[in-house]
A and B are shown apart, each in its own frame.
Chain A
Amino acid sequence: MIDLKDLTKEYQEEDTPTQALRGITFSIEKGEFVSIMGPSGSGKSTLLHILSFLDRPTGGSYKFLGKSIDEMSDHELAQVRNKAMGFVFQSFNLLARLTVYDNVEIPLLYSDLPVAERKRRVEEAVDSVGLKEKLYVETGKLSGGQKQRIAIARALVTDPDVIFADEPTGNLDSKSGLQIMEILDALHKKGRTVVLVTHETQTAEFANRMIFIRDGLVESDKPIAKHGPVRNLK
């Protein structure tokens, strides 16, 4: 599903070139739950931006569902983001003045689905995160944990191939954080691909594979034994 080969990203910062990514190679298959870890400044956020089509690499190749990012126009990237990718951010990025319904509907506004289908999907997505009763509540009135659940519903509403979660528990207390990770885990178990960026080991261990980035390179890429196989054995 995701194929990276020698991926590089160079920034120009005050006339000095900075290499954020220096040759990243890995693949993610459909249905995997991958966490990308690394200290701050390691390049993990840059990597996530490229993986999620918000940015383009300066070198190497990136194929998503078999198609290279280099072959796609900005308009096509936007379409792929809309249809095939879901986003969960650390700071939720909900529009506080809008209701839960309106927030979750936002990605569908940029699709061509009919209104009735949009309504069905929004209700289903909100129901799947257990907040059906909050459908017409303004998101500004929700707790942090509820906000992130709504953000997950918004990521799910387009029925994407992959969900990118950027520090989804970073702004939450440990109880709410756990709830969020359980929702992502459940999504994975239903067959959805989840790519998680975090610097918290506990959070990262919900995944079944961990890619560790340091100084713009993959330092390690290994399965997380205790989560996947161990639980499955039980």
Chain B
Amino acid sequence: MLYKDAFKTAIRSLTHSKTRTILTMLGIIIGIASVIILMSIGQSAQDLILGKVQGIGSNLIIIIPGAPSNGKFSAPASEQGAIITTLQQRDVDALQREPSIQGVAALVGGQAEVVYGNNDATESFQGVTGNMFAIRNLTVGQGYPFTQSDVDSQNHVVVIGPDLATTLFGKYVNPINKTIRIKNVSFRVVGVLATGGTGAFGVDEGNIVIVPISVAQKELLGISYFSTILVQANPQYNIDFVTSRIKFELGQDHGITDPNKYDFNIETQADILSLVGSITSVLTLFLAAIASISLIVGGIGIMNIMLVAVTERTREIGLRKAVGATDKDILQQFLIESIMLTLVGGIIGIALGAAVVGLIYFIASTFTTVGWVFAFPISGVILGVSVSTLSGLIFGIYPARQAGRKNPIDALRYE
């Protein structure tokens, strides 16, 4: 039998009972649509997070205290809550002398109650050096960022996030030059950040509180060490070279010669990108795996209906065999029907998935400030088409073999 005739026969069979065909396809439609939607959400989340990480700049190197983690996925001790006091001012001074380094910024952080009048909020605060705004691309929309001289003079000044400004002052009060209290210490607001959202460091920039590091260390935390040092590499130098220089300088400073015993971690943008990339890829894969369960269920539905069709059409099979169809002809006919069923279902599923992805993007971009990225992975379409075709083949082969094996005499007698 020619393929053209087999396709024509399949289309006739499928269009003969339209309701059944559509209901059978529904399982595959939902399955493929879920795969597409979840893969796209995973991809969007990945793009969003990677975009944030890229926002910190490719020449930024982050130094955090604690022994380097062996596994890629275990956080350094300092990030797991241990207090490590090894990063000190002398480290910053040493790094500042290094020609391959353009700038060094230090950071401490904690949580504190922030009060203005009757309004209060408990937020994360960061004590930073004056160059931090430039290094981290933090833009101040209203007022000005504080400077290194404010840090050196231990001035009680603060830059806050726009959401916190609204919480404390409402929409109509200008926060600039107002005095707020952080852990009962008074600070004068000098600036409000331009944008909110979650920044590359996992901090909610809309609600952040940024004060001079000297004041934070002395009056808010009572410490003398740093929790993070940010290094801006000199663009003329290779980032790996700069990293090796930092290791050398800090190692020397801390009196450690064995690289395995370093008491600090160095992360570059590339490290973070690859870590975040691998985490989100696993997440996307996981989502797709969940969605494929519905595909399997849909496939079983196809098999079930095809088995019913084979039984219903026993006499037809008998007749076709009597007039010259071989086992292979019959098998091919039923297989084409099931593949057509799943392929068309898959294409509808892709279209449905694309529509839902578009809707999610529309809702996210219209009603939220998340900065949701539209992503419609072409791999999802390829996967959708191939998986649906494959499921037609896999779940169709058993019924088709049953059909092909039917004895024509018994089939012709079948009532």
Contacts and interface: CB of A to CB of B under 8 A. Distances in A.
A206 interface: no
B7 to A, nearest CB: 12
B316 A95 contact: yes
Among the interface residues A55, A107, A109, A111, which one has the most CB atoms of the partner chain B within 10 A? A109
Nearest to A166: B412
A83 B324 CA distance: 8
Contacts of B319: 89, 93, 95, 106
A207 to B, nearest CB: 22
A110 B324 contact: yes
Interface in B312-351: 315-316, 318-327, 329
Contacts, number: 57
A81 interface: yes
A192 interface: no
B16 interface: yes
Interface in B375-415: 408-409, 412
B5 interface: yes
A55 B408 CA distance: 9
A30 interface: no
A49 B324 contact: no
Contacts of B5: 109
B316 A74 contact: no
Contact of A78 (B9, B316, B324): B324
Contact of B1 (A93, A95, A102, A109): A109
A81 B412 contact: no
Nearest to A106: B323
Contact of B325 (A52, A78, A158): A78
Contacts of B323: 81-82, 87, 106-107, 110, 154, 158
A40 B316 CA distance: 25
B90 interface: no
B325 A110 contact: yes
Contacts of B183: none
Interface residues of B, number: 22
B326 A74 contact: yes
A107 B320 CA distance: 7
B409 A111 contact: no
B324 A97 contact: no
Contacts of A109: 1-2, 5, 9, 325
Contacts of A83: 324
B149 to A, nearest CB: 89
B318 A93 contact: yes
Contacts of B327: 74
A201 interface: no
A98 interface: yes
B322 A81 contact: yes
Interface in A96-112: 97-98, 102, 106-107, 109-111
Contacts of A58: none
A98 B11 CA distance: 12
Interface in B1-53: 1-2, 5, 9, 12, 16
B326 to A, nearest CB: 5
B329 A110 contact: yes
Nearest to B17: A97
A87 B409 CA distance: 13
A231 interface: no
B326 A75 contact: yes
A195 B319 CA distance: 18
Given A97-B12, A110-B1, A49 B409 contact: yes
Given A98-B12, A106-B319, A109-B325, 20 more contacts: A49-B409, A54-B321, A54-B322, A54-B409, A55-B409, A74-B326, A74-B327, A78-B325, A81-B322, A81-B323, A82-B323, A83-B324, A87-B322, A89-B319, A93-B322, A93-B412, A110-B325, A110-B326, A154-B323, A158-B323
Interface of B: 1-2, 5, 9, 12, 16, 315-316, 318-327, 329, 408-409, 412
Interface of A: 49, 52, 54-55, 74-75, 78-79, 81-83, 87, 89, 93, 95, 97-98, 102, 106-107, 109-111, 154, 158
12 contacts: A54-B322, A54-B408, A54-B409, A75-B326, A81-B323, A89-B412, A97-B12, A102-B12, A109-B1, A110-B320, A110-B325, A110-B326
